[in-house]
Structure 1
Amino acid sequence: MDGWAGAWTGGRRAVHLGNVADFNDQFLAAGMDAAQRARRLRQAHHYAGMAACYSPEPALLVLPGEVERAWIDWLARELAWGPVELYSGIAPGGTLAEALAARPALAARIAAGPGPVVAWGRTAAHGAGPALAAVRRYESKAAAHRLFAELAPDHPGIVVPRQEQPDSPRRAARRLTARAGRGLTTVVKSPHGVGGYGTVVVTPQQLFAAGGGRALLRRLVRDEVLPPGGALLLEEYVDGGRAEHLRDLTFDAVIGEDGRVHPVGVGAMEVDGTRYLGVTVGPGVVPPGAAATAERFGLAVGERLAADGHRGWYDVDFVTDRERRLAPTETNLRLTGPAIAFVLRARLDQVRGPGHLVRTLDGMPLGARLSQEALYDHLDRLRPRCARLGVTLLPLVVTAGYEPEPAVGLALAARAAADGAPNAAEAADAAQALDAAEALVGAANQALGRMFEALR
């Protein structure tokens, strides 16, 4: 099989490991207390439900949280999978690597196949070497920024925001206050973070309302917006003006074992402040000019990552400025939420025909706390309503429905053309169908709260 799917799994059914918590754990701040670390691991275990769609067709799936078989059967029906071995609930409190160390029979089953093993990201459990070193180097937003600045002069349409790294928290607070005094908004970043954690946009008004830079930074640590201790990066805020529809873009690619870089695609992300919410991928989603600019730069980044030893999935995230230039903000040497959307699009195109748009919604709020059984019934009632809009509903994150702030992760897919490549009007119609389905599901989720209030 050619292209990125061949480089990723050789076109074979794969073993999927939901090791999101393991990957994140290697970058957690040293000053984080046990309770906060436990909360971070728990959130990551929920997100590991995405592991079902790490590749176009799983053969064996290992999940840290308990997932009922019915969810996998739902996906298998829609995506034409063969039988999937499921091992779930194996690491409710720790990391997947810790759990597998205590279950040698399961570890041996994973090692035996039946296909290549794919994981969220590389950790020490995969062995040391240049690949792990590359991950630990370029997952740093400081190292990624230096790479962007080095490559950008050869790429028209790319602008790299200025970044500085103060040598102490006190110095960071002073520099942040000085910037606010000049009327400048600043993006404050921890060198490592995922999904928006460890990154915050600070306006002058917010800083002075908090009582200055030191008071604001203390509050952000207390509120678990920023990790405790460690370095901070101060980055120029890129004003997108009215370019909100295409404000946040991602380019994804796969580096094969031979070091060749295979582009996957460019998607339009939905980001609230700095918190990633989801992505839409497929024909017509990103204008050709912006997609080409992102791809050229993203491939150049990938060539450098490959030269430094990285193998596997990576992405480059961008924000759009007022002149429609793309500003790279970070690179992720792992799977991400958008990677799942690209995988789903590839599988749907393969089994149903080309032309799909896919939107992932990683944490849609629920109006009430639901068990997995009740959540299944709720989504099953929505499935035919989405189908009448021409949209396929796919459950992804199904274990967070009973959290204090309950949520569910979903994918929505619509086919833009019955055969061949869709034209602009067909792509627009598919995007509108996704909008309608998202609105339908969101309203139904919120109505759950009113339903339970009626029972009081």
Structure 2
Amino acid sequence: MDGWVGAWTGGRAAVHVGDVADFDAQFLAPGTDRARRLRRLRQAHHYACLAVGYSPEPAVLVLPAEVAPEWTDWLARELAWGPVEVHAGVAPDRTLAEALADRPALAARIADSDRPVVGWGRTAAQGEGPELAAVRRFESKAASHDLFAALAPEHPGIRLPHQERPDGRRRTARRLTARAVRGLTTVLKSPYGVGGHGTVVVEPADLFAAGGGGALLRRLVRTGDLPSDGLLLLEEYVDPGPAARLRDLTYDALVGPDGTVHPVGAGAMDVAGTRYRGVTVGPGAVPRGAAATARRFTLAVGERLAAEGYRGWYDVDFVTDRERRLAPTEINLRLTGPAVALMLRARLDRVRGPGHLVRTLDAMPLGARLGQGALHDHLERLRPRCARLGVTLLPLIPTAGREPEPTVGLALAGPDTEALDAAEALVAAAHHALAGIFEALR
């Protein structure tokens, strides 16, 4: 058994609790209005479908959104799971903790399952203590930057982006404008944010078009890209140059119950602007040198987290510069999209043999709005076409197909990046073609 699998669940099938919204709620800005809170809740509940991959094998799934049984049947067949007990539609319009407070029998089922229980991340529902304190501290992009600064001098291949913390919004606007006048692109960050929320890349042309730094900040608050008050961080934009293909990297690890840090693996992320869209993990997904540098630095971060009392999953995200050095940008003290890809890879390697690459695509656009039944049929038609390319198609997020901008979350598993690229192109074209099919039926 791999060291990290044993440290995570003891190699046993686990209870997976889809509490993404509960974790995210800890870091919402105090002034967030009701409409934005509900929109973020809905997005988090879609993302909580990734609970299928919180460990290599679930025994019980607790999901806030309603899902069709065909979805878990498909995954169980492909991943050789045993029976999976599914509790879905538990919390469609509130956090999971709030829902479980009104469902004591289900809460007791989770607590008394005699199995490992894994969720997205630590929340107050599991009790206060050093682990939660570490989460609250190092999820901050300011505190994580301070930790990176302490560690970077001992790690060749790591470069630290310069970060400023202006006092007040007016000072922030002036510093943002001064940087733009010098032709500098700036990464503007709220200290807390997930999935790209609260992070904006500001190019000089964007600032001047908005009418200056103050006007740009006001616009970003109106659109919900930034909180209405509180500290903002100005961080150097790291130019990837010709290394742009490997722009965004991540390395996952975990701190075991005894404080031992276990490496898990590297991934090449797909990030549009500042929004995470997916990742590729497995042999060759990240060049060996970059993966080794990321591993060493991430394990050093883990040692510091362990000393602070943290136990559980974490990752460090990096961007690459023109010299292929890695610039660390944040720590996520929780599960992540790349974590799910690594869980799927571990399971596939165990039941089918080693060597899988896994690519997750968290929000692929659909050309038409589809209910789960129609979406299942659409994907079922794609499954054999992917198989002919040597790629296994795994549906991960089936609940967002009825949104105004419909999407589906998928994983593709195959022998090499060429096969994954071909399967992704095939699937994307089929999704896009849905628009023409439904137009012809009008």
- Shorter chain as denominator, the TM-score bin is over 0.9
Q: Note if 1:437 corresponds to 2:427.
A: no
Question: Among the aligned pairs, what percent are the same residue?
Answer: 76
Secondary structure of 1:242 counterpart: helix
| Pair 1:446 & 2:432 matched | yes
Alpha-carbon distance in 1 for matches of 2:133, 2:41: 23
User: Are the counterparts in 2 of residues 65 and 89 from structure 1 also a CA contact under 8 Å?
Assistant: yes
Equivalence for 1:350:
350
The one-letter code sitting in structure 2 at the alignment partner of 1:449 is A
Q: In structure 1, what is the equivalent of residue 68 of structure 2? A: 68
1:337-369 Cα offsets, whole Å, 9 max, x none, are 000000000000000000000000000000100
User: Is the 1:320–1:326 Cα contact (8 Å) retained in structure 2?
Assistant: yes
- Pairwise CA RMSD: 0.7
Task: Report deviation, 1:2.
Answer: 4.4
* 1:21-420 correspondence to structure 2 within 5 Å: 21-414=21-414, 416=415
| Matched letter for residue 434 of structure 1 | L
Deviation per residue, 1:24-77 (Å, 9 max, x gap): 001000010011001001100000000011000000000000011110010000
Partner of 1:423: none
Distance in 2 separating the partners of 1:45 and 1:67: 11
Maintained 8 Å contact 1:176/1:213: yes
TM-score, length-scaled by structure 1: 0.96
Distance 1:24 1:340 in 2: 17
- Taking structure 2 as the reference length, the TM-score comes to 0.99
CA distance in 2, matches of 1:394, 1:114: 29
The alpha carbon displacement at 1:227 in A equals 2.4
Alpha-carbon distance between aligned partners in 2 of 1:90 and 1:388, rounded to the nearest angstrom: 38
Q: Measure the CA separation in 2 of the matches of 1:282 and 1:51.
A: 21
CA distance in 1, matches of 2:231, 2:40: 20
Displacement of 1:228 after TM fit? Answer: 2.4
The ranges of structure 1 where at least 4 consecutive aligned residues each deviate by more than 2 angstroms after the TM superposition are none
Deviations 1:172-194 (A, max 9, x none): 11110111111110000011111
CA distance in 2: counterparts of 1:279 and 1:399, whole angstroms? 20
1:224 Cα offset (Å): 1.8
SS at match of 2:241: coil
For the residues of structure 1 that align with 2:75 and 2:68, how far apart are their CA atoms? 12
The equivalent of 1:421 in structure 2 is: none
In the alignment, residue 418 of structure 2 is paired with which amino acid? Q
Preserved contact between residue 15 and residue 114 of structure 1 (Cα < 8 Å): no
Structure 1 regions of 5+ residues with no counterpart? 417-429
The gaps in structure 2 that reach 5 residues or longer are none
Supply the distance in 1 between the matched residues of 2:142 and 2:154 (Cα, whole angstroms). Answer: 20
Mapped to 1, the partners of 2:208 and 2:334 lie a distance apart of: 38
**1:3-36 deviations in whole A, cap 9, x for unaligned?**
1000100101100000000000010000100110
Asked if 1:455 corresponds to 2:441, the answer is yes
Paired residues in the alignment total 442
Distance in 1 between the 2:85 and 2:426 partners? 33
1:165 CA drift (Å):
1.1
Give the letter aligned to residue 11 of structure 1.
G
**CA distance in 2: counterparts of 1:164 and 1:8, whole angstroms:** 37
Deviation per CA, 1:291-344, whole angstroms, max 9, x where unpaired? 100000000000000110111100000000001100000000000000000000
Secondary structure in structure 2 of the residue aligned to 1:285 = coil
Aligned residue type for 1:327: A
- Paired amino acid for 1:439: A
Deviations 1:395-419 (A, max 9, x none): 10110000001000000001x3xxx
In structure 1, what is the Cα distance between the partners aligned to 2:74 and 2:30?
40
Q: Find the residue that maps to 1:302 and give its secondary structure.
A: helix
User: In structure 2, how many angstroms separate the alpha carbons of the residues matched to 1:292 and 1:52?
Assistant: 29
How big is each residue's C-alpha offset from its partner over 1:64-106, in whole Å with a ceiling of 9 and x where there is no partner? 0001111001000000000000001011111000000010000
Q: Distance in 1 between matches of 2:428 and 2:289?
A: 32
Give the secondary-structure state (helix, strand or coil) at the position aligned to 1:359.
strand
**What CA distance in whole angstroms lies between the structure 2 residues aligned with 1:225 and 1:142?**
18
Instruction: Check whether the contact 1:59–1:114 (CA below 8 A) recurs between aligned residues.
Output: no
Q: CA deviation at 1:166?
A: 1.2
* Matched AA of 1:451: I
The letter for the 1-side match of 2:431 is: N
Q: Which residue in 1 is equivalent to 2:7? A: 7
